[in-house]
A and B are shown apart, each in its own frame.
Chain A
Amino acid sequence: MKWTSYIFKKALDFSPYDENIVHDSFSELIEEQSHSQDGSEVFEMKEMGGRGRENPAFLSSPLHREERQELEPLLSENFSPVTLRVLSAMPSRTIGRNRGAIISQYYNRTMKLRRRRSRPSIRDLSRSARPSICGYRVETDPEAVAEEVCEAEVAAINFSIKKAATKFGKMRPKHQTAVSNLFNQLTLNLGFRHSWYGLLSFLHSLQLWHVELKKVSGRFGTGVLSYFVFLKTLLLFNVFLLLVNVFFLAVPQAAHPPSNQTHRAPFQGLELLTGAGYFTDTVMYYGYYTNSTVNGCGPALNGSGCAVGQNSLDTHPRMPYNIPLAYFFTIGVSFFITCIILVYSMSKSFGQSYRIDNPHGDLAMKMFCSWDFKVIKKSSVKLQCENICTQMKDLTMRVSRNETLIHVEASLLALPVVVSTVNLLMPGLFNAVAWMEQYDAPSTSAYVAICRNLLLKMSVLGVLCYHWLGTTISGHVTLSKRVRQNGSTGGLECWETFVGQELYRFLLMDFIFTVLDTIFGEFVWRLFSQKVLKRKRKPVFDIARNVLELIYGQTLAWLGVLFSPLLPAIQIIKLVLLFYIKRTSLMMNCQAPSKPWRASQMTTIFITLLCFPSFLGAAVAVTYTIWTIKPSQGCGPFRTLNTMFESGKIWVRQLEEMNSNFSWFTWIHKYLVENPFFLFAAAGVLLIVIYFHTQVVDGQRKIISLLQEQIDNEGEDKKFLITRLQDIYEKKRPVSVRFKQRERRDDRRTLTSCD
């Protein structure tokens, strides 16, 4: 009775709202369940041995009446209250009222769904999966005729109509009519089936590359086969697209070439590579298609084709074909259909392949499911055996490492080196690409380069963050195993230290590679370009790239500060050294940039880049770690907690217990910090403020443009006023003065003309 006292004790300690605690008193639910299941659940536990080869199928099928009568004592109607109480105290029944109700509801719903399914369960079939035609109903009494009819059917199936006929002759006349009807049905049915199978096998052999795919799967297995199957799928998509476009666009347009066809360039071989030249003015490209409705010619009554008839009584029916509409709809509809097909096949394969993740089922699954039965070549089979052997060994045993500790530690540097190499080489590639692309303004190319480099670095960081933080969600299996094997964290399962070390390595590698890049990219390149290429000018200092590298390094530091608090010291040393190295290199090797550089705008951009992707990303990663991820149990300041955030909660609780004066503090904490409503409200207010400011800035910009216009207008005003003044002054002046002035002017003119 130990468990009853335990249960009662548990029930008293905790509130009923705490669903993690056991609850007894489940008897009504168990009664309901046992009624709805027809008692089959109780029977599943009993072993049904010795029923021959059908047993696995038999075991799961609903019980037949005879068995139920035999095992009547186990039906729940016969149970005493004591038994019921014992049953209700079983571990599987004491899971809590809420959970139990959910499970029983789910179970009932599943049973209803199963009963509703029209197709009979595979378990109910007899051992052969072949459907029997014996089930055809006969008009006369079934019992007497069935056996004979069945025999005759079977004889017919066994290719011998003669035997069937003899059997038929032996039958009684009153059955003969029934059987003859049946036979007519049968032969018709057989005939249909025969032709249907013939068609099926013919269609199957028509499948593209069927033989080739079998060869591939026979030698290399299903994995490699999936690539080729995917290729075939893509081919079919393209075939569909081509057919649709040819029939609805190319053919109608080709049948009615545009009237104002320009002279086409003669065919040279290069068109096959460039796609231009001769191909420019053909149905291959958009430009050829007219934007009018072509009038197709229907079939003429006298077969004379399309006559350009002057009279309105045209005997040829015309088929107007609107080319622009056809173009639009063809492309749109083909995309739509492709989309539907893709989504459908994606959902189907997702449904097939998605399984609830079970990290514990690895070994069993590997054992039963890793053998690829498609492989039949001897060498491939041997390879598979070895492969499975190695996998088994890996899963169960720890691979004994013969390498020394130094090798082990050095291998940790592999990932940072690779990442830094990628960060170094890719900008060079982007520069080469940008050199080929021609931009209108030089600033555009600078912006594009910045964008590309930024995307590269952020995506690298994103992937790394997912790798470090994401794997810890699933129980940090891989990380802890590596940690244990490397032995670098003293054998403890301390993934935070590992991540901190990784970030330290990344930071350092980044620094080393930057220095190397400075030496080789600037110093050596300068020597090379001056001595070998004989260029007069030194290489240019690439500001954008260097700033982005600084931002990247800073992001790493921000990411790592949670796991390694002293990482900023490393960053400080790195920046100081970098300063001096870059300055020296600059003085020696580079020249001032020839492109104009708008310093203040660029500074804004760099600070924005530092804030937005860099700091925000790091903050999000750190917040996520603090809020969600379970800290490791063996080390660190949060080792006994579920999340790092809980430490705050615990402190608040402690404060409350220690000193009741601080209860307002806990009240604040409970209702403001923990309550998501407050956070949403705060975020909403922030967004409103941002919006308000942007509107203010927008308004100010409009005012600036208005004022600019006003200044222009004022300039115009000045001119206008001066001319008006002049006019008025001219009108007001006495006539004689004007005349004298004119005379003086004419004299001056005659004087100059004489000279």
Chain B
Amino acid sequence: MTALDTGSATNHLLNCQSQSVGATGSSLLDPRLHTRYHELAPNLVPMDYTNDPDCKVPIQLIINMPELMENPFKERIVESFSEAGDGNLSFNDFVDMFSVLSEMAPRELKAIYAFKIYDFNTDNFICKSDLEQTLNKLTREELTPEEVNLVCEKVIEEADLDGDGKLAFADFENMISRAPDFLR
């Protein structure tokens, strides 16, 4: 991940919000991010939170956002920020997602969520099947199965420090900390 930053011309404003969100953490006072959230599902999202509604925007609407649409990991990203793990985001989750994705989020936080994103079966380890799925998403399944197998084995060989055949968070973080380009 050279940069977990979702930016484009049309989302310049949104980025401002996520910048300030990432920097300070509380954007609830800024209604512009909420406007984006509201636009996703106008019928579902109320403008007034007086009754403390428990509304969640379904995953299908979120992954159609222009920042995420082309991203091969869009489902995993949304799933890792949703509370129940099914990808439906409440506003809090939505804000969390854009906080972490902004440029200002601290590196350790990004590493934690990156680990979650790559952990497809949510067992808190990146095992070989997770790696295979990651690689297939990265290369759009253009590698042959033998190549995929070889790559995954090599990755585990390189990054696994305690020798249990899968990558724990400590292994992942250790490897990521060596990459100067990660998230910058």
Q: Contact residues of A with B, CB < 8 Å?
A: 44-45, 49, 53, 55-57, 59-60, 121-123, 127-131, 157-160, 162-163, 190, 193-194, 197, 200-201, 204-205, 210-211, 214-215, 217-218, 221-222, 352-356, 358, 360-365, 367-378, 381-382, 385-386, 388-389, 392-393, 395-397
Which of A121, A123, A127, A376 neighbours the largest number of chain B CB atoms within 10 Å of its CB? A376
Residues on the A chain within 8 Å of B159, using CB? 361, 364
Residues on the B chain within 8 Å of A215, using CB? 8-9
Question: In chain B, residues 71-124, which have Cβ atoms closer than 8 Å to a Cβ of chain A?
Answer: 71-72, 80, 85, 92, 95-96, 99-101, 105-106, 108-109, 112, 114-116, 118, 122-124
Residues on the B chain within 8 Å of A57, using CB? 112
Q: Do A59 and B169 touch across chains, with their CB atoms under 8 A apart?
A: yes
Q: Do B179 and A371 touch across chains, with their CB atoms under 8 A apart?
A: no
Residues on the A chain within 8 Å of B112, using CB? 56-57, 122
Please pick, from B16, B109, B122, B154, the residue contacting A201 in the complex, using a CB distance under 8 A.
Answer: B16
Is B61 part of the contact surface with A, judged by Cβ < 8 Å? no
When chains A and B are docked, how far (Å) is the Cα of A129 from the Cα of B101?
A: 12
14 contacts between A and B (CB under 8 A): A56-B169, A122-B112, A163-B50, A197-B24, A197-B27, A200-B20, A353-B180, A355-B179, A356-B178, A363-B158, A365-B178, A371-B2, A376-B71, A385-B138
Please pick, from A45, A128, A197, A353, the residue contacting B29 in the complex, using a CB distance under 8 A.
Answer: A197
Please pick, from B25, B69, B154, B181, the residue contacting A129 in the complex, using a CB distance under 8 A.
Answer: B25
When chains A and B are docked, how far (Å) is the Cα of A113 from the Cα of B92?
A: 34
Q: Do B147 and A355 touch across chains, with their CB atoms under 8 A apart?
A: no
Interchain nearest-CB distance for B163 vs A (Å): 11
Is B44 part of the contact surface with A, judged by Cβ < 8 Å? no
- Binary contact readout B145-184 vs A (1 if CB under 8 angstroms, 0 otherwise): 0010011001100110010000011101001111111101
When chains A and B are docked, how far (Å) is the Cα of A360 from the Cα of B7?
A: 33
Please pick, from B7, B25, B28, B108, the residue contacting A218 in the complex, using a CB distance under 8 A.
Answer: B7
Q: Do B20 and A374 touch across chains, with their CB atoms under 8 A apart?
A: no
When chains A and B are docked, how far (Å) is the Cα of A215 from the Cα of B26?
A: 27
Residues on the B chain within 8 Å of A375, using CB? 70
Q: Do B20 and A204 touch across chains, with their CB atoms under 8 A apart?
A: yes
Residues on the B chain within 8 Å of A218, using CB? 7-9
Please pick, from A157, A214, A355, A369, the residue contacting B28 in the complex, using a CB distance under 8 A.
Answer: A157
Check A369/B50 contact, CB under 8 A, given A130-B25, A392-B147. Answer: no
Q: Which residue of A lies closest to B131 (CB)?
A: A367
Interchain nearest-CB distance for B1 vs A (Å): 6
When chains A and B are docked, how far (Å) is the Cα of A204 from the Cα of B13?
A: 10
Q: Do B108 and A122 touch across chains, with their CB atoms under 8 A apart?
A: yes
Check A385/B180 contact, CB under 8 A, given A59-B168, A214-B8, A218-B7. Answer: no
Q: Do B139 and A368 touch across chains, with their CB atoms under 8 A apart?
A: no
Q: Do A392 and B3 touch across chains, with their CB atoms under 8 A apart?
A: no
Q: Do B176 and A56 touch across chains, with their CB atoms under 8 A apart?
A: no
When chains A and B are docked, how far (Å) is the Cα of A128 from the Cα of B28?
A: 13
Please pick, from A214, A356, A373, the residue contacting B15 in the complex, using a CB distance under 8 A.
Answer: A214
When chains A and B are docked, how far (Å) is the Cα of A211 from the Cα of B8?
A: 8
When chains A and B are docked, how far (Å) is the Cα of A367 from the Cα of B156?
A: 11
Residues on the A chain within 8 Å of B180, using CB? 352-355
When chains A and B are docked, how far (Å) is the Cα of A751 from the Cα of B124?
A: 136
Which of B26, B27, B123 neighbours the largest number of chain A CB atoms within 10 Å of its CB? B26
Which of B8, B118, B131, B177 neighbours the largest number of chain A CB atoms within 10 Å of its CB? B8
When chains A and B are docked, how far (Å) is the Cα of A312 from the Cα of B101?
A: 70
Q: Do A392 and B70 touch across chains, with their CB atoms under 8 A apart?
A: no
Is B39 part of the contact surface with A, judged by Cβ < 8 Å? no
Residues on the B chain within 8 Å of A194, using CB? 29
Please pick, from B50, B109, B124, B131, the residue contacting A160 in the complex, using a CB distance under 8 A.
Answer: B50
Interchain nearest-CB distance for B103 vs A (Å): 10
Q: Which residue of B lies closest to A381 (CB)?
A: B70
Residues on the B chain within 8 Å of A361, using CB? 158-159, 175, 178
Q: Do B99 and A374 touch across chains, with their CB atoms under 8 A apart?
A: no
Q: Do B20 and A368 touch across chains, with their CB atoms under 8 A apart?
A: no
Residues on the B chain within 8 Å of A367, using CB? 131, 134-135, 138, 151, 155
Q: Contact residues of B with A, CB < 8 Å?
A: 1-9, 11-12, 15-17, 19-20, 23-30, 48-50, 52, 66-67, 69-72, 80, 85, 92, 95-96, 99-101, 105-106, 108-109, 112, 114-116, 118, 122-124, 131, 134-135, 138-140, 142-143, 147, 150-151, 154-155, 158-159, 162, 168-170, 172, 175-182, 184
When chains A and B are docked, how far (Å) is the Cα of A163 from the Cα of B49?
A: 10
When chains A and B are docked, how far (Å) is the Cα of A57 from the Cα of B106?
A: 14
When chains A and B are docked, how far (Å) is the Cα of A9 from the Cα of B15?
A: 66
Q: Which residue of A lies closest to B85 (CB)?
A: A53
Residues on the A chain within 8 Å of B85, using CB? 53
Please pick, from B66, B105, B135, B178, the residue contacting A355 in the complex, using a CB distance under 8 A.
Answer: B178
Check A49/B5 contact, CB under 8 A, given A128-B96, A190-B29, A355-B179. Answer: no
Q: Which residue of B lies closest to A352 (CB)?
A: B180
Interchain nearest-CB distance for B82 vs A (Å): 10
Starting from the known contacts A201-B16, A363-B158, A385-B138, 10 additional A-B residue pairs (CB-CB under 8 Å) come to A122-B106, A160-B49, A197-B20, A204-B19, A205-B16, A222-B181, A369-B176, A369-B182, A371-B2, A373-B2
Q: Do A360 and B70 touch across chains, with their CB atoms under 8 A apart?
A: no
Q: Do B151 and A392 touch across chains, with their CB atoms under 8 A apart?
A: yes
Q: Do A160 and B48 touch across chains, with their CB atoms under 8 A apart?
A: yes
Q: Do A162 and B50 touch across chains, with their CB atoms under 8 A apart?
A: yes
Q: Which residue of A lies closest to B31 (CB)?
A: A159
Q: Do B70 and A368 touch across chains, with their CB atoms under 8 A apart?
A: no
Check A56/B158 contact, CB under 8 A, given A162-B50, A369-B181, A374-B5. Answer: no
When chains A and B are docked, how far (Å) is the Cα of A378 from the Cα of B5?
A: 16
Interchain nearest-CB distance for A94 vs B (Å): 18
Residues on the A chain within 8 Å of B114, using CB? 368
When chains A and B are docked, how far (Å) is the Cα of A356 from the Cα of B175?
A: 11
Interchain nearest-CB distance for A78 vs B (Å): 24
Residues on the B chain within 8 Å of A360, using CB? 158
Q: Do A396 and B179 touch across chains, with their CB atoms under 8 A apart?
A: no
Q: Do A376 and B66 touch across chains, with their CB atoms under 8 A apart?
A: yes
Residues on the B chain within 8 Å of A397, using CB? 147, 150
Q: Do B16 and A385 touch across chains, with their CB atoms under 8 A apart?
A: no
Check A201/B155 contact, CB under 8 A, given A159-B49, A222-B2. Answer: no
Residues on the A chain within 8 Å of B26, using CB? 130-131, 193
When chains A and B are docked, how far (Å) is the Cα of A123 from the Cα of B27?
A: 22
Q: Do A376 and B2 touch across chains, with their CB atoms under 8 A apart?
A: no
Residues on the B chain within 8 Å of A53, using CB? 80, 85, 116, 122
When chains A and B are docked, how far (Å) is the Cα of A530 from the Cα of B131?
A: 73
Please pick, from A158, A221, A363, the residue contacting B49 in the complex, using a CB distance under 8 A.
Answer: A158
Residues on the A chain within 8 Å of B179, using CB? 355, 365, 368-369
Which of A190, A194, A222 neighbours the largest number of chain B CB atoms within 10 Å of its CB? A222
Q: Do A364 and B70 touch across chains, with their CB atoms under 8 A apart?
A: no
Residues on the B chain within 8 Å of A159, using CB? 48-50
Residues on the B chain within 8 Å of A396, using CB? 147, 150-151, 154
Q: Do B17 and A201 touch across chains, with their CB atoms under 8 A apart?
A: yes
Please pick, from A121, A131, A157, A385, the residue contacting B139 in the complex, using a CB distance under 8 A.
Answer: A385
Q: Do B4 and A373 touch across chains, with their CB atoms under 8 A apart?
A: yes
Q: Do B138 and A371 touch across chains, with their CB atoms under 8 A apart?
A: yes
Residues on the B chain within 8 Å of A217, using CB? 3, 7
When chains A and B are docked, how far (Å) is the Cα of A356 from the Cα of B178?
A: 7
Q: Which residue of A lies closest to B70 (CB)?
A: A381
Interchain nearest-CB distance for B121 vs A (Å): 13
Interchain nearest-CB distance for B109 vs A (Å): 6
Q: What are the 7 tightest A-B residue pairs by CB atom distance, in nearest-first order?
A: A353-B180, A56-B169, A389-B139, A372-B2, A158-B49, A130-B25, A122-B108
Residues on the A chain within 8 Å of B11, using CB? 214
Q: Which residue of B lies closest to A370 (CB)?
A: B2
Q: Which residue of B lies closest to A214 (CB)?
A: B7
Q: Which residue of B lies closest to A122 (CB)?
A: B108
Please pick, from B99, B100, B142, the residue contacting A385 in the complex, using a CB distance under 8 A.
Answer: B142
Please pick, from B5, B29, B66, the residue contacting A373 in the complex, using a CB distance under 8 A.
Answer: B5
Residues on the A chain within 8 Å of B177, using CB? 355
